[in-house]
Structure 1
Amino acid sequence: MENAWQFQLRITVSEELATSLRGDPSSRVYAPLGEVLRKHHASLKCQFDAFADYVNEAERLGPEHYPLYHWTKETIEKPEKKARYLRSFTLYVDGAEVYDKVIADPLQAELTALVGVGVGGVENVVKFDTDPANSPQPPAR
């Protein structure tokens, strides 16, 4: 039986490209990436922006309802972590944050082919799965 785990892809890009992608997540500024995104009905979300959105929502609705609030807030306030997460982007496919292997694998292959192509582009591609055994656990408080 095939496992039921789903997957998520994240890319790390150069600082220059990250700045552009945050303003243009469709990636018109970097055509090779834009072509891959369009082909796979994918879009990007900057990890820093996702974390900041989580913190803002928690502060608006009550941090007691958001178990990762303190960890996330501390993370985005640390300059070295902020710099790291500003360059990291999650790929959504048809609006979904996680997707089946048959979607993730070809997308990963095409993104990986962009690593190191040209100056200031995609630097790394990572695939995560939804298996809880492979997921980092929230820090104890």
Structure 2
Amino acid sequence: MDDGWRFQLRLTVSPELSATLREPPASHSHGPLADVLRRHNASLKCQFDAFADYVSEAERQGSEKYPLYKWTKDTIAIPEKKARYLQIFTVYVGGEEVYGKEIAEPLEAELSALVGDAGIENVVKFDTNPANNPQPPH
């Protein structure tokens, strides 16, 4: 049964692989990973970089328009959290950060097959069902 939820995949990688993946062109630094991403028209974005981009945009546009600005800025300033978010990469497909089950499931299977290979630690799939996701901080 398809409830219409959309999905997002995230990879956790070693600090060494993270440093490599954050350098352009990121997808070329790990052959098998690059192959999977290419087959699925996918790319990676480091979660720390996504948070930092959000903070920068909020500061340019006016933080009052960005409800998670303070939480995000505070979060990436904590060294332990920064280290953790530097190791998490969101998988974008066709430039989108959430996508249908028909895209997420085969991509998840191929990425999961790489776990343990040269710094790929795990793959996690999230859905857009609010019941499965924490609510944003106030």
What TM-score range do you get, normalising by the shorter chain?
over 0.9
Q: 2:20, 2:26 within 8 Å by CA — same for their partners in 1?
A: no
Match of 1:9 in 2: 9
Distance across 2 between alignment mates of 1:91 and 1:32: 15
How far residue 31 of structure 1 moved from its aligned partner, in angstroms, is 0.3
Q: 2:48, 2:85 within 8 Å by CA — same for their partners in 1?
A: yes
Match of 2:125 in 1: 127
The RMSD of aligned alpha carbons is: 1.1
Q: Counterpart of 1:9 in structure 2: which amino acid?
A: L
How far residue 24 of structure 1 moved from its aligned partner, in angstroms, is 2.9
Match of 2:112 in 1: 112
Distance across 2 between alignment mates of 1:97 and 1:85: 17
Percent identity, aligned pairs only? 68
Distance across 1 between alignment mates of 2:100 and 2:61: 32
User: Deviating runs (4+, > 3 A) in structure 1?
Assistant: none
Calculate the TM-score normalised by the size of structure 1.
0.94
Match of 1:23 in 2: 23
Unaligned runs of 5+ in 2: none
Match of 1:53 in 2: 53
Distance across 2 between alignment mates of 1:124 and 1:44: 14
Unaligned runs of 5+ in 1: none
Match of 2:87 in 1: 87
Spell out, residue by residue over 1:90-139, the C-alpha distance to the aligned partner (whole angstroms, 9 max, x if none): 0000111100001000000011110012xx42101000001111111112
Q: Counterpart of 1:93 in structure 2: which amino acid?
A: V
Q: 2:22, 2:46 within 8 Å by CA — same for their partners in 1?
A: yes
Q: Number of residues paired by the alignment? A: 138
Q: Secondary structure of the equivalent of 2:81?
A: helix
How far residue 21 of structure 1 moved from its aligned partner, in angstroms, is 0.5
